[in-house]
A and B are shown apart, each in its own frame.
Chain A
Amino acid sequence: MNGTPQQRVTAGRALLEQVWNENPIFRQVLGICSALAVTNLVFNTTLMCLGLIWTTTMSSLTVSLLRTITPKRIRIMVQILIVAVYVIVVDIVFRAFFFETHSQIAAYVGLIITNCIVLGRLEAFANKNKPFPATMDGLGAGLGYSAILMAVAVVREVLGFGTLLKGTAWAVQVLPLSENAVWWRQWTIMVMPPGAFFVLAMAVWAAKAWAMRRDGERAAAATGGAS
């Protein structure tokens, strides 16, 4: 903010930066692709987010641990290999324990490998920082991504299906089915990928507006104090 060269980042700082100030979706607008595809059911989104948190955290840790012995020339290859390994682990675990959900989200789980957030954090942070801050940075990026995705998923599932946690034992009907109510029609668009564009865009808008107002107030307070 104040233009000084980058300082050593503490672990807690790295985590918070990723969750909020540098939120991958709001501030960096990364990883939007999977945000569009899997967010129409809260349960599917939860699994997807857990997969991403695991991948960003573990690959940041591994890349950081190997950073002093990895030749610079092949570092991207090594990073992709590491990410791919953790994603395959996610795929195998989901296949074994969440068989039916896995069949719906398998394609997107595989795509975590190419998720810009993961490689972005590895190149920008894990590559040049110690393991603990790197792990926290990866965890923060995963949590920051998940917070937004979960919010989008709740809106989409409630408006699109009228339910919450559909497909699980805890499913609740929040809004009635179109067949049973005269005052409510399900928003089919929320079920389809374009629905995510609208919800996500509005969420980014709201968050940016809020952050800008806050920054403006701080700036005003700073100048006010100086005079």
Chain B
Amino acid sequence: MMAQAKKSPTYVLLYAAVVSTLFTAGIMALHAATRDIVERNERLFEQKAIVELFGLGDVETLSDTEIVELYENRAYLFDDVVDPETGQSHKVYVAVDEKNHLIGYAFSVSGTGFWARIDGYMAVTPDLNKVMGITFLQHQETPGLGGRITERTWRQKFVGLNVSPNPDGQFIYIGGQAPQADSPRASRHVDAISGATGTITALDRFLNEQIPMFRRLEEELLSKHVTKIPF
């Protein structure tokens, strides 16, 4: 009797519908219950990165609330700065010191890495000539090799890098032979991560492509947006 009923198409369809609905409802409930925590995690992750990027504080020792406080007082996000050349909008952070003096900008940089898209920020001084820091928020590079781009010790090597316009067209050199100390390239060179050639080539390519964009975005930012900041 039961075996017979289980074979009827109506039972099969009904069963599939009921089971799917019940399980999906369970997932939706769990998703809704954790949404706030997940959003807070995502926000905190980016805020932590920005605080570290501009050197506003030591993220290793600060508590989460202190990081959020620093971020809220000292960093300003402009998420729709349009590049006049491409018409695309970009995210730019502006940071100030305790006396509300401008200390730098962080421009979003992104491109295709060895496996997939890499997203991050590069912070530069107000004259756009010196790197304050670099951070990568999203990537799928090989853990331990290309994945090491997120490690602080490697990212620190970018601090102080010269990114002013260069006669030969390239702004920075990542990897390759280290230049002589008196070479004009010396202030623009960063050591590669050994074994992570694919990631490094990709970074070298898209960072050099996007550094000129900083000047266009800064102009846009100054003319339209930063009036919101109490400099």
Contact = CB atoms under 8 A, between A and B. Distances in A.
B90 interface: no
Contacts of A81: 19-20, 23
Interface string B5-42: 01100011001100110011011001100100110011
Interface in B98-151: 138, 140, 142-145, 147
Contacts of B143: 40-41, 44, 104, 191
Interface of B: 6-7, 11-12, 15-16, 19-20, 23-24, 26-27, 30-31, 34, 37-38, 41-42, 45, 138, 140, 142-145, 147, 194-195
B143 to A, nearest CB: 6
A202 interface: no
15 contacts: A69-B6, A69-B15, A74-B12, A81-B20, A82-B23, A85-B24, A85-B26, A88-B27, A92-B34, A92-B38, A95-B38, A96-B37, A96-B38, A107-B140, A160-B144
Given A71-B6, A78-B16, A191-B145, 20 more contacts: A40-B143, A44-B143, A70-B15, A71-B11, A74-B15, A78-B15, A78-B19, A81-B20, A85-B23, A85-B26, A85-B27, A92-B34, A92-B38, A96-B34, A97-B37, A104-B143, A160-B144, A161-B144, A188-B145, A191-B144
Interface string A74-115: 100110011001001100110111011001100100000000
Nearest to B44: A99
A187 to B, nearest CB: 11
Nearest to B45: A99
Contacts of B11: 71
Interface of B is mostly: helix
Interface of A: 40-41, 44, 66, 69-74, 77-78, 81-82, 85, 88-89, 92-93, 95-97, 99-100, 103-104, 107, 160-161, 188, 191-192
| 10 shortest interchain CB distances as A-B pairs | A191-B144, A99-B41, A96-B34, A85-B23, A96-B37, A71-B12, A71-B6, A188-B195, A95-B38, A88-B27
B67 to A, nearest CB: 14
Contacts of B30: 89, 92
A191 B143 CA distance: 7
A34 B34 CA distance: 26
A36 B207 CA distance: 32
Nearest to B5: A71
Contacts of A161: 144
B41 to A, nearest CB: 4
A160 to B, nearest CB: 6
Nearest to B41: A99
A96 B15 contact: no
Contacts of A188: 144-145, 194-195
A165 to B, nearest CB: 15
A100 to B, nearest CB: 7
Contacts of A89: 27, 30
B213 to A, nearest CB: 26
A70 B7 CA distance: 10
B138 A103 contact: yes
Nearest to B7: A71
Contacts of B34: 92-93, 95-96
Nearest to A41: B143
Contact of A96 (B16, B27, B41, B195): B41
Nearest to B147: A104
Nearest to B24: A85
Contacts of B23: 81-82, 85
B144 A77 contact: no
A71 B138 contact: no
A100 B12 CA distance: 42
Contacts of A69: 6, 15
Nearest to A72: B6
Contact of B144 (A74, A93, A97, A192): A192
A161 B147 CA distance: 13
A95 B30 CA distance: 12
